[in-house]
Amino acid sequence: MTSYQAAPNPYELESEAWWVQQWVDLLNSYRFKKRLERGRRYAREGHILRLDFTESKVHASVQGTADEPYKLSIWIDRFADEDWDFVVDTLSQKALYSAQLLAGEMPADIESVFTANGLSLFPFTLADVHSKCNCPDPKNPCKHIAAVYYQLADAFREEPFVLFQLRGRTKEQIIDAIREKRRQQVEENPVEIIAEDTEEVVVAAETKSQTLNLENFWQYDDALDSSLVVIIPADQTVLDLLGPMPLPASDAQVLSGHFTSLYQSVAQQAMMSALS
């Protein structure tokens, strides 16, 4: 879980992934920091009993001073279907995006895709985040909503693609839409493939008229589009099969952590190569 312990900047969380830090920066920019600080303490003390993502809303139960926990919801404006179509069109031009999304990784420059289409994945200010709570506090955010704001940093850390869901599309919907878009591109122009690392369309083979030849009827020389290939991580890794290392516990932990990080990096590169 993301740390909420005090730092030189009392509202700064420890260094995290860029999408988590961007959410934290949004909280830090809020003018009435004392109100958020009360919620920060609530989150740290474990007052949040439940946090769910239903469609494009966040629903939570927070234990306050009353016997029954307070119910609240948080949401941001959904993108229109037409806006998502533009985003998918842009994403489909990069095979690298597809590889990273399939690997469960948020592309580092994903925000530029939305910006190019006149959108912003993140809200500009906390005023763009809508919320309501059934507690008696007339001010918004109340400490219960503020607590969930900080808890959302943890949720984004564990599953960054809920950001897409809050904007109206799940990770699976986006990946399926990208696959379909790239499949259509191949059907419309089968001699072109999408270059993964240059974002350019490269001619894979010249279009040439051929008479039907039964000897090579089943031969296909063009590269298959990467969107037609589905690659999923293995249930077990080589490290799992090797079992515990015959080393002192402290040394084994350090070495295991190093190999785990190295294995994940190699697996990511292999997946991107396979989808190129």
Q: How many CA atoms lie within 13 A of 174 on its CB side?
A: 29
152 and 62 co-located in one domain: yes
List the chain residues with pLDDT less than 70.
1-15, 186, 188-239, 241-242, 271-276
Domain boundary residue, one of 180, 199, 226: 180
Question: Both 32 and 150 in a single domain?
Answer: yes
256 lies in which domain range? 238-275
Tell me, yes or no, whether 93 and 169 share the same domain. yes
Output phi, psi for 124, to 5 deg.
-75, -40
Q: Answer yes or no: do 36 and 152 share one domain.
A: yes
What pLDDT score does 232 carry? Answer: 58
Q: Do 68 and 167 sit in the same domain of this protein?
A: yes
pLDDT, position 81: 93
Last residue of a domain, one of 161, 180, 199: 180
Q: What does the pLDDT read at residue 223? A: 60
What is the rounded distance in angstroms from the CA atom of residue 203 to the CA atom of residue 201?
Answer: 7
What pLDDT, on the 0 to 100 scale, is given for residue 100? 78
Answer yes or no: do 54 and 123 share one domain: yes
In a domain, 210, yes or no: no
pLDDT tens-digit readout, 32-83: 788 888 889 999 999 999 999 988 899 999 999 899 999 999 999 999 999 9
3-state SS assignment for residue 120: coil
Domain count, the chain: 2
CA 224 to chain centre: 27
The pLDDT value recorded for residue 90 is 87
- The full DSSP string for 165-200 is HHTT--HHHHHHHHHHHHHHHHHH-TTEEE-TTT--
Residue 33 belongs to a domain: yes
In this structure, the answer to whether residues 33 and 162 fall within a common structural domain is: yes
Residue-level pLDDT at 143: 92
